[in-house]
Each structure stands twice: as structure tokens, then as C-alpha cells.
Amino acid sequence: MKKLLILFFLAAGVPALLSAGVLRTKYADLVNPMVGTDFHGHTFPGAAYPFGMIQLSPDTREDNWDGCSGYHYSDSLIKGFSHTHLSGTGCADLCDIRVMPVTGLDAKRAFPYREEDYQSGFSHRNEVAQAGYYKVFLDRWGVEAELTVGRRSGFHRYTYPKDVTPQLVLDLMPRDKVLGTRITQVGEYAVQGYRRSHSWADDQIVYFYMEFSRPIAQMVIEESKAGDGHPRALITFENSSGRSRARELLVRVGISSVSETNARANLESEGALKKGGIYAFDLVKESTRKAWNDFLSKIEVEGDPTTMRIFYTALYHTAIAPSLYSDVNGEYRGMDRKVHKTDGWDRYHIFSLWDTYRTLHPLFNLIERERTVDFINSMLSIYEEQGKLPRWELSGNETDCMIGYSAAPVIADALAKGITKFDRKKALKALLETANRPEYGIDVYRDNGLVLADVEHESVSKTLEYAFDDWCIAQVAQRLGERGTASAFLRRSQFWRNVYDPSTGFMRPRVNGIWLDPFDPTEANIHFTEANSWQYSFHVQHDINGLIEASGGDDSMEQWLDELFSSSSETGGREVADMTGMVGQYAQGNEPSHHIAYLYSYVGVPWKTQNIVRKIMEELFTDAPDGLCGNEDCGQMSAWYVMSALGFYPVTPGGEQYVFGSPMFRNAVIHLENGRDFTLRAPRTSSANRYINHVMRDGLPYGKSYVTYADIAQGSTFIFGMDAEPNPRFGFREGDRPVSKVEKTIVENPTFHVPSPVFNAFTKVEIEAPDKNYRIWYQMVPEGSVAGGNFERYQRPFTVSRNCTIYAYCTDAEGNRSFTTKTTLRRAENNYKVQLTHPYNRLYSAGGDQAIVDGVRGSTNFRLGGWQGYQDSDFEAVIDMGSERHISQLSAGFLQDTRSWIVLPVWVEFYTSRNGKDFVRQRRLEHDVDPQDYNSQVHEFTLPVDVTARYVKVVAKNFGTLPDWHIGAGGHAHIFVDEVTIQ
């Protein structure tokens, strides 16, 4: 048995990958997996198989944002090598089943062994990262570590110092909250077990089967403190100094979401006993290298060496995720945590759809069409298991991260590109159910024509994403002959108009029926998703011509774009780590900006697109570890580069046009799955010659600034005449411009203008229509009354002097009406004046100084703006009631939302004064709410008193620095206050 297993490790391979011949060009040689491991790229350098199940890579950190992938280039210690990794995400997870080769650890010592007992220093000089292969020297142990992978398996080769006994630490505890573990020995040569954990994925389960080339001499397993698992093991192997390859230990690993039996089957499906003494590790390494060459050679380019390295590294990064999830027998663990089985297709996971619908999936629809069918089948199976399509799926868990129902553009774009081998009726059913769920403001959007900022946070971004997704659903319905559904969703796709403010020319949130004021388009705040209004105001990919018209026409749009790219890169509001790679207010480091540089072509100045796209490619992408200007985001960042470098870009996924940019390569060929080649040639292209002077298609002049999918699918050849000076005639005529337009069929909502929703004696109300030709109809309903009866036509501003809600809608000349919008106005219950000692965070003003005494209480969702927020300071306010009064009770409400860094104050003190100078402390109040209670909750600090005073002072002590147990450890906690009441 021992002999057979040793031969297995010497001879196992992946026969299916060896049949084809050696490629003429080895594109894998041009890949540098280190790109993106520095700065905020969040990539990993280890071994991966194209879209494979295992990503075998070193772990150097896990405790902050730049450790999301488990590795950062600036680190100097390796903690071990784990089998699953995320590529470029902004949230951390995975890094499962960690092993570390060691020597000299005392096997008789009782656990715990911890990371510091086995981590090792390393040098980048002794590191090699290639497509499908990684090598590093571990200084502490004198061990050379090599890693490679198959489609469902991981292979390790550790070369130990001479005459030492090999040992291995198997650690199932790192990074996440562990829910359960098991490690058991299987015979002399193997161990198996599982790890169940809670992190970004609520309930992730990874089973493993791990086999060794040496027999196990001793294994010491740690028992968990709770007695319900085995979190770590120290494995000591027999010393084989007398045999060949005496210093080596080979480890091969299979994983599964279903069982240890499946993990073993996955492993054994990729290795077979062979004669001839072929060294297994090297065979697998070469087989995987060939798999990468096969994938990378789907697009062949010719250019300067540096640009080719950047390009093929980017193309490599597009094939890490989605990752294979189903086992070799078709089984996988679904969203319902039950075991399911496919009927011949592969289930994938890691669907970062808000990121990847923009460019990655459109790229797949050109070069990975068969796999795209599996992607869509995976999404449909997710729908069957959880009742909706994935938003951000990970390991059979819905993280509900990001916004939109972004499976819609993925499915719509696949259909637009002729990919139909899936259940299209089920796809439409899934889209409709997902787009009508009462969650994340979808129902508010559907019933009001926009997401209301006082009901749902990130309201502007959600409105715009939902509108585009609805257009995509309309395209799917139209292709299936469902005209009524298509018409309804085309109407919904125009709801972007209800957050477009003609007076500022920006997308702007509406709060209580009123445009948010003050408003700064550079400000990143709770109304936008990882962006500001500058970046989201162009987010109407499906109706770009409608946006051009709304902005004032071609010249206005061109000027607006010029301002975007030439403005200061300074942003206001909260710090958003994803807003990087700034060119003016454009943020290449985050997805909402990715299509914007191509919009110049829609107004007839494509040379400006060519200039800015070239600038972004040359300045923000390199072949160094810090070669990405922001998160890789599961391939989206790299897909943007791939498409842009080829010279055409899918501005509107779900459509059929691609907009020309500035081709980077003299020759580029995309080998299509239909057997044809789509060819792009730009013989004179260079940094200087970045402008398209003219284009030839199949030998004939071509004046358009875009290409259609039909041109690509039929294998056309485009030749670009490049020049150092722009040609203003190319792509200028309207017939030569790309088009993205939805016929306008909606009437936009009116807007209220009032000085403040809380007033003293009376307030002036004005109602504005977005179109001067609209009529406005309104109804004022006093508090306590029921809305009903007739609306009257609005003629001029009016005043109100009591609590009321005003409803209004617009009609056009044909009698079509908008949604009804409303504003609620309240007469102040007091005339108190508030003086604050410390400034509040401008993003969390709740409406200003008086907000803490205005009688309007914030909800448990701080993102709706009802709370006054303070960070890194205490809260102190003096309230002047205007005259002396008898007080029987003082109270102040505070919010705790620990996950969002909002923690209750340590204590609250109340003071009173008659003259505003001499204050008497009434009492200090504390509380027993655990700061580690992650439930969002309001705590009222209430103090009965019996005192006469004019002034009340409230002081709240900030929690201070967030401790080690918090994800933001070292940061400063917030105080959120509302409302202070005096009785």
C-alpha cells in the first residue's frame, strides 16, 4: 500500500489536459499574478486553475481591509497556505483549510499551537508566482514551498532541510468565526475533516480529504474548548532519509461543500496511476499551465512586451471567478443548505454581479459562451433554492452585498449575444420575482417611481441600478415575445428621471418630497453606493440619449463630461476606500465610473473618448504588484482593461453595440467559439498615435464609432488608421454615433420646496414641475385626517401653519400623470435653541442643530439620516428653552449599531441652569447594553427630576477606540443622538 501511494504521487496526473499539442505562443509566460497584491488590488499570488474550485495561496494577513484576499505584498510573514481565496473583493472571507510545513515542533507539547508558533518570514526575492504555480522559501523553517492546482484539487511540494523530520500544521481556525471543525486520520497516509464558519458568508462548509506522500508517524489533534471539534493538528511524518527525494513531502488535497467522500472523489478524479515514474507535481503543474495557455490564447495580441504582460495578466485575472462549486458527481450544497445535484452542467459560485455585469460577463459572452450557460444555470438554481436570483453569492450563501438585481444584465446580455441554451422562461420568471420583492427599496421604487431617501439608504444609486436592470428585463421579455411585460419594465426603466434634478444637472436624493439640501455632487454619503453624484449621474447606460437630452443636448453633455475629467479630485463626505484611480471626479478604482469615458462618442466627439481611455490605461494599469488602482473585484477591473485595450467596450450590457476606444495592439484576434476570428488591427498605434483617423471593415471604409455584435460574430476584420492628432469628422455624424435610447413615456414627479419640514408659526410651500408644460395637482391633508377627495390645481406658492401632509402629482397635455409624491410638515412643539460644543459629522446632521429637539425621531436605520452623528468626540449640547420652566423629566435617545461603528455612549450626564452659566449636574446615567450586541437598537437615557431651569445641558461620553474584537479595531466609535426631550 505504501509503495502504491508513493508511486501515485510520482505518477498521478490530469490526462484530459495532456492530449493537445504545445501552443506556439506560451501566453502563460506573460502572466504576473503578483499584479494587484499591493495597494488596494486585493488579489492573491498563489496557484489557480481557470475558473477552478481551489485557489491555493499563501496567507499573510486577515485582519484588515487590505487583507481581503489573505495576502498583501507589503507583508513579511507567511502564516500558511490555504485552499480558497477571493480575488479582489472589498470584503474578506475564505482562506479555508490552512497548512504550514514546519520542523522541530514538540509533538508531545499540549496544544494550543498558534500562528506565532509556526508563521515564517519570507522575501519576495525568493518568491515565484506564475499562472497555476507558486513557490516561496520559508526562512524560519528552511523549507521551499511549491503549490499548484488541478480543476478540483490542490497540490503541495515541500522540500525540507537535510536530515530533519518533516512536520505539518493543519489549522482550521484562521480568520472567521468557526462554527464546527473535525480532523480525523484515514489510514497511514491521509487525513480528512471539515470546517464550518461564519463570516461574509453566513454558513460556509468546506470538507476536505488530504493525502501525503509519506506515512504519518504521529498526529496530535487539538480538542476545541467547547468539546465540539478539532481545530488544529500537528502531523509528524516518517523520516525517509534513505530513499530518493528524501527531503520532499507531497500533499494533495480535494475539497467539497458536500462531504469528505466527495472531497476524496474530486481529488481522485484528477489523478490516475501511471507507469514510467513521471513526477506528479510537475505533471499537474504543466497540465494546469496548458489549461491557462488554452484560455489565454482565446485572444491573441501583438504589441510591446510591457503592454502584453499587463494584458495577459488582466485576462488571467478574469478567469479566477466565478469558481467551480459542484463536485465531480454533480453534487453541491445549495442556498437552502441542502445537497443538490446538477444534471450535467457545472454549478459555480462567487457571483459579484454588481461589479461584473458591466464588462466581465460581456467579455465571457464573446470567449466563454458555453461556460456562460453554466453561469446562468447556476443563477437559476440559486433562484430555485432561495426564491430570488443572486445579488452577491458566496459558497452557497447570499451575502446581500451591493445593490440592484444585477443578474438581469448578465442574462439580458447573454440573450442579446445569441446564448440561449438555458430555460429562458424560467429566467424571465426569476427576473420578475426578483424585481418585485419587497426588500431593499424595490417596492418603494415600484410604487413611487424612485427610491425615497427617507425610506431607504443609497436611494439614488438604487434607483439608477434598478432602472437599468428593469431595461434589461424588458429586453429579455421582448425577446421572449412578452410584450406587456416588456412595456411595463421599459416604463420602470425611465424612473431615473425622478432623481435627475434639472436645476443642478445632477442625480440628487429626494427627502420628504424635497431635493436634499445642501447638496454637493462631490460628496460621498448615505445616498450613493461607494460613489458620489458625479460618478452616478452618468449611470443611465440604457438611455444615454435621454440623459443627453435632459442635460441640454450634445454641447452640454460634452461640457459636463469635460468638467468631470478636469475637476479637482477632492471629494467630500465620508471616506470611501473604493474611490481610487481618480481622474478629476472619475474613479477608475470603482465600477460606477467604468463606462463614462466612452460617453463622448454619443455626442459626436469620440476622439475625446480615445484620449481619456488611453490615459487611464497607460497611467492606472502596470505590470507591478501595485498595478491596479483599486479592487480587482472578481475580474471586473481587469475585464475593463482587456476590452479597452482591444479597442471596443460594452457600454450597455444587454445591447448590441460596443463603442470604440483606442486600440493598444498592432494586431488582436479573438477566436470565437463559432470557429470564426474577429480581428482588430492598428499598425501605427502608440501612446502618441492614440486617435482613430479612419477605420476599414473587411476592406471597406467604415465611419461609425462603434461595432455591433453581428460584426464580431461573423468574424469581421477592422483596421484602424491611428494618428497623433484627432480627426473631428470621424464618428461625428449622428448616424455614425452609438445609440442608447428609451422612448419617454412617463411623467416625472413634482418636487416640493420648503425652508424646513419643521417650522415655527407658518411656512411657505412651493411645488415645482420638472417640465414647464406639466400641470400640478395637490391636496393638503391636516394631521389626523384621512387623505381623499379631489386634488386642486396648483397655481402659486401658499403657506401652512399646522401639521399636515401635502400630496401632489403632475399631468402632461395628454392627461398622463406622474406618481403622487408627498411632504410632511410639522409645526415645532417648542422654540428651543440648541448650542453644540462639538460639530457633528456633516453627513449625519439629521437636518441641523435643532434636529435633536424637533420632535422627529430617527429610526433604527441610521442610513436614513434621522440621527445626528459624532465621531472621535463626545456629545455636548446646551438647550435654551427661552424662559424658566418646571422640569419633571429629562431624556436623550442614542443609537447602537455596533457593526457600523455606532456604539452607545459610556454614560450620559444631565445639567440644568437658570442663567446659562452656572450649571448643576443632576445625575450621570450609565447602561448595561453590551457593546458587542450587534442588534441595531435605540436606548433612552431617562432621568426623573424636580427642578426649575431655563437651560439644560446634555453630555454623552464617547465609547472611544474600537477594541480588538471589532472589525474596525483601532478606529473611533460614533455617537448617534436623537431626540432630547424635556418635560
- Which pLDDT tens digit goes with each residue over 901-940? 999 999 999 999 999 999 999 999 999 999 999 999 999 9
The residue among 496, 424, 512, 426 whose CA lies nearest residue 464 is: 496
Say if residues 611 and 619 touch (Cβ distance below 8 Å).
no
The residue among 911, 913, 921 whose CA lies nearest residue 954 is: 911
452 and 487 in a common domain: yes
Give the C-alpha distances (Å, rounded to integers) separating 543 from 484, 509, 538, 771.
Answer: 20, 20, 10, 19
Residue 15 pLDDT class (50, 70, 90 cuts): very low
Quick check: is 442 in a domain? yes
Predicted confidence at residue 940, as pLDDT, reads 97
Per-residue pLDDT at 21 exceeds 60:
no
Give the CATH number for residue 491.
Answer: 3.30.2080.10
697 and 770 in a common domain: no
346 and 287 in a common domain: no
Per-residue pLDDT at 220 exceeds 90:
yes
Per-residue pLDDT at 124 exceeds 50:
yes
570 and 554 in a common domain: yes
Per-residue pLDDT at 806 exceeds 80:
yes
Task: Give me the phi and psi of 366, to 5 degrees please.
Answer: -100, -40
The residue among 289, 360, 262, 341 whose CA lies nearest residue 48 is: 289
- Of 274, 295, 316, the last residue of a domain is 295
Predicted confidence at residue 721, as pLDDT, reads 99
819 and 864 in a common domain: no
What's the rounded Cα separation, in Å, for the pair 366 and 658?
12
> Could you tell me which residues come within 8 angstroms of residue 542 by beta carbon, excluding any fewer than 6 positions away?
467, 468, 471, 472, 493, 652, 654, 655, 740, 742
| pLDDT higher at 829 or 869 | 869
User: pLDDT tens digits, residue range 27-81?
Assistant: 999 999 999 999 999 999 999 999 999 999 999 998 889 999 999 999 999 999 9
Predicted confidence at residue 584, as pLDDT, reads 98
3-state DSSP call for residue 681?
Answer: strand
Per-residue pLDDT at 111 exceeds 80:
no
Residue 227 pLDDT class (50, 70, 90 cuts): low
Say if residues 515 and 501 touch (Cβ distance below 8 Å).
yes
Per-residue pLDDT at 10 exceeds 60:
no
User: pLDDT tens digits, residue range 567-602?
Assistant: 999 999 888 888 999 999 999 999 999 999 999 999
pTM, two decimals, is 0.94
818 and 908 in a common domain: no
Give the residue-averaged pLDDT of 88-98.
Answer: 97
> Could you tell me which residues come within 8 angstroms of residue 91 by beta carbon, excluding any fewer than 6 positions away?
68, 200, 399, 401
Predicted confidence at residue 380, as pLDDT, reads 99
Say if residues 751 and 510 touch (Cβ distance below 8 Å).
yes
Considering 329-338, 753-762, 956-965, the range whose residues carry the highest mean pLDDT is 329-338
- The CA-CA-CA angle for residues 467, 468, 470, to 5°, reads 65
Task: Using CB atoms within 10 Å of the CB of residue 224, give its burial: 0 to 12 exposed, 13 to 18 middle, 19+ buried.
Answer: middle
Instruction: Encode 648-670: b = buried (16+ Cβ within 10 Å), e = exposed.
Output: bbbbbbbbbbbbbbbbbbbebbb
Cell numbers linked to 260:
469528505
311 and 270 in a common domain: no
* 631 CB-side CA count, 13 A: 24
Query: Distance between alpha carbon 930 and the CA centroid of its chain, in Å?
Result: 31
Task: Give me the phi and psi of 732, to 5 degrees please.
Answer: -85, -40
Proportion of the chain above pLDDT 70, given as a percent: 95
Rg (CA), the chain: 31
Predicted confidence at residue 4, as pLDDT, reads 38
Quick check: is 23 in a domain? no
Say if residues 244 and 191 touch (Cβ distance below 8 Å).
no
Give the CATH number for residue 779.
Answer: 2.60.40.10
Predicted confidence at residue 20, as pLDDT, reads 33
> Could you tell me which residues come within 8 angstroms of residue 250 by beta carbon, excluding any fewer than 6 positions away?
9, 155, 156, 157, 158, 212, 213, 280, 281
Sequence-ordered strand ranges (E) for 91-203: 98-102, 120-121, 127-130, 133-138, 143-149, 153-159, 167-171, 177-186, 190-198
Per-residue pLDDT at 2 exceeds 50:
no
Least confident of 164-168, 255-259, 275-279, 608-612: 275-279
455 and 316 in a common domain: yes
Residue 228 pLDDT class (50, 70, 90 cuts): low
Predicted confidence at residue 272, as pLDDT, reads 44
- Of 710, 736, 762, the last residue of a domain is 736
Predicted confidence at residue 13, as pLDDT, reads 38
Predicted confidence at residue 240, as pLDDT, reads 67
User: pLDDT tens digits, residue range 809-860?
Assistant: 999 999 999 999 999 999 988 989 999 999 998 888 888 899 999 988 888 8
Quick check: is 743 in a domain? no
Predicted confidence at residue 270, as pLDDT, reads 84
308 and 284 in a common domain: no
Per-residue pLDDT at 23 exceeds 50:
no
Give the residue-averaged pLDDT of 880-898.
Answer: 96
Say if residues 898 and 939 touch (Cβ distance below 8 Å).
no
> Could you tell me which residues come within 8 angstroms of residue 883 by beta carbon, excluding any fewer than 6 positions away?
950
Task: Give me the phi and psi of 544, to 5 degrees please.
Answer: -60, -40
Domain that holds residue 772: 751-827
What's the rounded Cα separation, in Å, for the pair 564 and 560?
6
Quick check: is 24 in a domain? no
Give the residue-averaged pLDDT of 772-784.
Answer: 96
- Of 676, 703, 736, the last residue of a domain is 736
Give the CATH number for residue 197.
Answer: 2.70.98.10
User: pLDDT tens digits, residue range 370-390?
Assistant: 999 999 999 999 999 999 999
Predicted confidence at residue 274, as pLDDT, reads 34
User: pLDDT tens digits, residue range 625-674?
Assistant: 999 999 999 999 999 999 999 999 999 999 999 999 999 999 999 999 99
Quick check: is 868 in a domain? yes
168 and 84 in a common domain: yes
Quick check: is 215 in a domain? yes
Quick check: is 150 in a domain? yes
Give the residue-averaged pLDDT of 381-410.
Answer: 98
Cell numbers linked to 516:
436634499
Query: Distance between alpha carbon 479 and the CA centroid of its chain, in Å?
Result: 30
579 and 473 in a common domain: yes
Say if residues 841 and 869 touch (Cβ distance below 8 Å).
yes
User: pLDDT tens digits, residue range 453-507?
Assistant: 999 999 999 999 999 999 999 999 999 999 999 999 999 999 999 999 999 999 9
Predicted confidence at residue 271, as pLDDT, reads 65
The residue among 407, 384, 405, 404 whose CA lies nearest residue 396 is: 384
Domain count, the chain: 4
Quick check: is 143 in a domain? yes
499 and 379 in a common domain: yes
Give the CATH number for residue 837.
Answer: 2.60.120.1190
Task: Give me the phi and psi of 755, to 5 degrees please.
Answer: -60, -40
Predicted confidence at residue 279, as pLDDT, reads 53
Average pLDDT over the chain, rounded to an integer: 94
Predicted confidence at residue 874, as pLDDT, reads 97
The residue among 597, 652, 595 whose CA lies nearest residue 471 is: 652
| pLDDT higher at 499 or 112 | 499
What's the rounded Cα separation, in Å, for the pair 839 and 873?
9
Per-residue pLDDT at 878 exceeds 50:
yes
Give the C-alpha distances (Å, rounded to integers) separating 287 from 19, 85, 274, 284, 845.
Answer: 10, 21, 15, 5, 59
User: pLDDT tens digits, residue range 513-557?
Assistant: 999 999 999 999 999 999 999 999 999 999 999 999 999 999 999
